[in-house]
Chains A and B, each alone.
Chain A
Amino acid sequence: MYGPRIIGRVVGSRFGLLRSSVLALALLGSTAAPAADDVLVIRGVSIHGRFAGGPDIDKGIVIIRDGRIAAVGGMDLAVPRDATIIDLDGGSVTPGLIDACALLEPTDRITAEARGGRPRQPLPPPPDFTEQHADHDDHEGHNHGLDAPPDPRAAPILTWVEEPVEAGGLACCALDTCAMAAMHEFLGEGTICPTCGQVILSEEEHALYASGLAPRTSLVESSSEVVPHTLVIDTINFRSPDFDRLVRGGVTTVFASPDSAAVIGPRGAVIRTAGPIRSRVISDAADVTASFGSDSFRVGPGNQSPFGNFVSNRTRRPNSRMGVAWVFRKAFYDAEKGLAGHAVTGADAPPAEAYELLGSIRAGHTPLRLKARLQRDIEAAVRLAGEFGLSFTLVEATEAYKCLPTIVGAKAPVIFGPIYIDPNGVRGFSEETRESRLSTFALLVNAGVETALTAMDLREEDGLARQAMYAMRAGVSFDETLKAVTLTPAKMLGVAEQVGSIEVGKRGDVVVWSGRAFEATSRPVAVVMDGKIVYDAR
């Protein structure tokens, strides 16, 4: 039940129908598939990424019929009449890019206003309840929120209490959830609130984060540190402009990864970046991601040590790397006990819902990803996985260049990225990003480690295509680079049968570039998914 569920294209109008449908459906065309005579021809381009299908072609033709690649060949290939034709001399074609670990825009804490439109003017409060809502702009009574118990009348049936509050030029996604929201103004820009763990931002920065240009808030369930029973698919906003940005960057399939706020986080999903909303899910419950390093106690609401007698849901482990290891180890240990019918005790015990899934991970039925950046975290991940005999995929691996032998010895595939030299933007907030190297990916590839490249939260100009460009700058060949953003991730996600290369019979996902792919002067001019042009900038 907990194995990776490949549920294919959604055929009915409900996810429910879909989930009950079986693998067979995945290989059939969907209701959204093009009509029988729907043919797309891309002509005059160099064709890369055929992999098993043959060598690259300098100038050739790709024919996509009924959403599937029907023929690939030189300029002498017969072109059907009445086909839609993309003529592009000097351009090139690659398979649609695949990001094996995309962090999609988390919409959870971002209100509708923040995602679009100007902030609404404060709504007129009713005469009887003015005092309850005045504290947002009440500078003198700023401790109002601290001693006053929450008034039930201020429950969110009042639409305006949910809105992002802007006080003194500072704004913050957590203002509506943090008990110390009134303090944010006094802590000042750039500091981290001790209560909610959010970085306090200026209004401009807030707008940037809220826009999804730089996501950083957590979408992971935080009532426990062990939540593999929850699903990332539930948090995905299929209408997010983030998908448009992915498509514009040539990315057609992604693994929607949770962020690293929990030690053992939710299960990700394999989804397509465009197409009818209900046909986008390839797998709604894929790998579980566990996180080593400081993220699980720093990202999201954050864990605190008890303050005097004040003990809350947040005063829990981990608060340190030791704590992370403890929670990880205890989760698997307790699950084993729990499944065997023994009593599970202790403050950091995983929730009972998680036992079955933890057991499934140990049995190797559910794939596991371990996210680690620093050398010591990578080493800890390898060690702990060894303790329980878990096979895993290593994710992010910023300092992999320091412990290459460990990684090679662990025989773990790696999803590496993003590549950067100086951590800027949101990456600047973590102390785990300081020693990144341009050459790390090249080293992994050279060492023969099966490595996919990911852009994580970076998009458009900074997206996966640029990661490939960086990889090539560090010396990786074009073919190896292309493989790392197409076929390798497709294999890791278990969808290599459908996507990841330009081969007859596979889905018609291709990116048409204005020049050679991953070159600074060329860009995607058209993105084709299932034979349909989903982005056109010719």
Chain B
Amino acid sequence: MKVRSSLLRIAAAAAVVSGACGDALALQERTAISAPWAVGPDGSLMKDVTLVIAGGRIERIFQGPANISVDRTIRFEKGVISPGLIDVASALGVVGDNVERKNVLDPDASVVEALDSHSPLLQAAAKAGVTAAMIRPAPSGVISGAAATIRTVAPHGVERILRADGPLAVTLGPGSWDVDLGATSRAGVLHHLREAMRTAKAAGGSSRLARMVRGELDAIVEADSAEDVDAALALFGQYNLSPTIRHTSDAVEAAAELAENRAVVVVGPYTFGSDLRVLSGPGRLGKAGCEVAFSGGLPFWEADALRVSAALAVRYGLDPAAARRGLTINAARAAGLGNRVGALTPGADADIVIFSGDPLRLDSRVIEVWVAGVRVHHGPPEPLEEADGWRAW
């Protein structure tokens, strides 16, 4: 809990700073967007929704006929307004440059320093409706640095980096084992992490680890199997922390413990070839009371993999509303930006996507993408470059 409230403050401060240097003209225009459907904050579909955007943010949201004065009105005869999708634990824009193979504990590395904003992969993701990504340093050792959250598309005047400092990326399980780094087993890895947290707690100060232990910096823990989940929850529990857990397959066995942890569980990516047991994981987590967010494995997987993962999770038992939350608000919460992006609520950034249908349906395509109140992409057949305000690259 402490973690989250402190993050809100950090995020809010960042938002104020960014607003000051934004493109005033484009962002100040008051726009109303209406569509027959929209994804509500709880993930359910709301009917006949009008969204008022001003200053790059969502000002109001109505259901039913709206009678307000705006600078322009855009009406979609069909389609669903959704918050921009967010890929968690992504490698968008940082491929090939985000592994520091030096220490078993590298809390001071920052993945944002490896970001290539010109990567065409970001553009591909944006086209698929992914407006933001929580990028994380590739696992190397137990703590591989701070993750960051970026926009996949940032028109002039719109900030690219939503959050540069955190959460801290922790890896348990085989991904963190390296004989040269000094740990080759679960016992070795946990010894290092346990000692590091103990030392950081004792030493205090403003190091990232000390902040994490005090609850001022959140953590995302890669734990592929149930015993890693157990170990993570037990260890972080000693400091009354609730880390976000990311898992891909086996960790669902620890669903009850994950639910008790009350933090978002990041799952995916999935394909049709995934194991049935694995595919049914999100459904089982949902039933146990967990909130899930999806990782689409971008950019190694097709940009649509994020939506495909969610759709498969629904097919194998996850509640559709929970799946939509997983693509949007839960992902934002995992990134520590739950008040800023990921939901169509007044005050949030106007990062929205208009799909031709339910985002969970595979035949739905992206019609338009808006970022901070600026339309950045018209769906096919129109070429991307002709979209309004498109000046990012």
Please report which residues of chain B, range 265-320, place their CB below 8 angstroms from some CB of chain A when the two chains form the complex: 269, 271, 273-278, 297, 299-302
Chain B residue at smallest Cβ distance from A112: B250
* A234 CB contact (under 8 Å) in B191, B250, B299: B191
Q: Is the CB of A219 within 8 A of B187?
A: yes
CA distance A235 to B226 in the complex (A): 11
CA distance A230 to B231 in the complex (A): 14
B388 vs chain A, min Cβ distance (A): 30
Q: Is A353 an interface residue (CB 8 A)?
A: yes
Q: Is B205 an interface residue (CB 8 A)?
A: no
Q: Given A109-B174, A117-B275, A238-B227, is A152 in contact with B186 using a C-beta cutoff of 8 Å? A: no
Q: Given A162-B174, A223-B182, is A155 in contact with B188 using a C-beta cutoff of 8 Å? A: no
Majority SS at the chain A contact face: loop
Q: Given A112-B225, A156-B139, A176-B174, is A301 in contact with B187 using a C-beta cutoff of 8 Å? A: no
Q: Is B180 an interface residue (CB 8 A)?
A: yes
Chain B residue at smallest Cβ distance from A152: B99
Residues of B close to A238: CB separation below 8 A: 226-227, 230
Q: Is B389 an interface residue (CB 8 A)?
A: no
Q: Is B175 an interface residue (CB 8 A)?
A: yes
Q: Is the CB of A223 within 8 A of B187?
A: no
CA distance A19 to B95 in the complex (A): 42
Q: Is the CB of A15 within 8 A of B237?
A: yes
Please report which residues of chain A, range 395-451, place their CB below 8 angstroms from some CB of chain B when the two chains form the complex: none
Residues of A close to B138: CB separation below 8 A: 152, 155-157
Q: Mark B180-218, 1 if CB is under 8 A from A, else 0.
A: 101111111111000100000000000000000000000
B1 vs chain A, min Cβ distance (A): 15
B203 vs chain A, min Cβ distance (A): 17
* B234 CB contact (under 8 Å) in A16, A121, A125, A218: A16
Please report which residues of chain A, range 1-22, place their CB below 8 angstroms from some CB of chain B when the two chains form the complex: 13-17, 19
Q: Given A159-B248, A162-B175, is A234 in contact with B190 using a C-beta cutoff of 8 Å? A: yes
Q: Is the CB of B249 within 8 A of A13?
A: no
Q: Is the CB of A115 within 8 A of B182?
A: no
Residues of B close to A277: CB separation below 8 A: 230, 257
Residues of B close to A112: CB separation below 8 A: 224-225, 248-250, 278
Residues of A close to B233: CB separation below 8 A: 14
B122 vs chain A, min Cβ distance (A): 14
Contact-residue bracket for chain B: 35 or more
CA distance A17 to B190 in the complex (A): 18
CA distance A153 to B114 in the complex (A): 13
Q: Is B260 an interface residue (CB 8 A)?
A: yes
Chain B residue at smallest Cβ distance from A224: B182
Q: Is A158 an interface residue (CB 8 A)?
A: yes
Q: Is the CB of A239 within 8 A of B227?
A: yes
Q: Is the CB of B191 within 8 A of A221?
A: yes
List, sorted by A's number, 20 A–B pairs whose CB atoms are closer than 8 Å.
A17-B237, A118-B275, A120-B275, A120-B278, A123-B271, A123-B273, A152-B101, A155-B138, A158-B297, A162-B174, A177-B177, A218-B185, A221-B184, A221-B185, A223-B188, A230-B188, A232-B187, A237-B226, A238-B227, A314-B179
Q: Footprint of A on B, CB under 8 Å?
A: 89, 91, 95-99, 101, 136, 138-140, 174-175, 177, 179-180, 182-191, 195, 224-227, 230-231, 233-235, 237-239, 248-250, 253-254, 257, 260, 269, 271, 273-278, 297, 299-302
Sample of 18 further A-B pairs with CB below 8 A, known A153-B95, A221-B185: A14-B233, A16-B237, A126-B299, A152-B96, A152-B99, A152-B101, A157-B91, A158-B300, A159-B248, A159-B297, A162-B224, A221-B188, A223-B188, A230-B187, A231-B190, A234-B191, A301-B184, A313-B180
